[in-house]
Amino acid sequence: MSEWKAKRFWKKTTVEAVEGGFEIRLDGRPVRTPAKAPLIVPTRALAEMIAAEWEAQEGDIDPNTMPATRSANAAIDKVAIQHAEVANLLADYGDSDLLCYRAAHPRELVERQAEQWDPILDWAEEAFGVRLYPRTGIMHVPQEAAALQVLRAKSHGFNAFELAAFHDLVSLSGSLILGLAVTHGKLSADEAWMLSRLDELYQIEQWGEDEEASESAEIKRQSFVHAELFYRLVN
């Protein structure tokens, strides 16, 4: 039995200003989220991006080609309802931040990590007044509680749409600091992604590239870049 798929049924996709933001309409009918909430977003720019995704659908509707719609749905149906839980989940990355877990050897990798990651930790100290300290090896060593509390407040300061984007920036990179660096304009998504991949790229230099792993990494990179774009459009 073939799986049923939703098909395009509308002729015209529009964006309308409504109370609380902007709404996407299909032949005048409002689009709703999977949980049946109104799909209302905070900026016209974001609404137009979502509308463009709907307008581009031909025949079967393919959610995989609609990243902005998916992110907006997540913000409304999940993040807005569980804002504190999501913010805490992301803030917890600060205690095991990728940038703080350093190799003991080889020397070339140790030097590369220090050269590329230390400036971002320095930036975080300048921007937020907190310092996260590197550790050697994979064993967990807690960061200072006061520093983590400051970073936790930053995570809680995002609205639901911002936090949906921030979730992907942090979870895909493994770094709260890299996520904050992107949202605060210190790094582009591409720059932050390359920093998050430093260890993997070093291993590729030594042993060569695995095609399947590279394809998986590229999918994640695209999601990471989208998260930055979604965050910018929210604002």
Per-position DSSP letters for the chain, written without gaps between them: -PPP--B---S-EEEEEETTEEEEEETTEEPB-TTS-B-EES-HHHHHHHHHHHHT--SB--GGG-HHHHHHHHIIIIITTSHHHHHHHHHGGGGG-GGGEE-S--HHHHHHHHHHHHHHHHHHHHHHS-----EESSS--PPPHHHHHHHHHHHHTS-HHHHHHHHHHHHHHT-HHHHHHHHTTSS-HHHHHHHHTHHHHHHHHHH---HHHHHHHHHHHHHHHHHHHHHHHH-
Task: Summarize the confidence of residues 7-25 as an average pLDDT.
Answer: 95
Higher pLDDT, 210 or 220: 220
Instruction: Inform me whether the pLDDT recorded for 55 exceeds 50.
Output: yes
Domains and CATH numbers, the chain: 13-79 (3.30.2180.10), 83-234 (1.10.3580.10)
The pTM (predicted TM-score) of the whole model is: 0.94
pLDDT at 59: 87
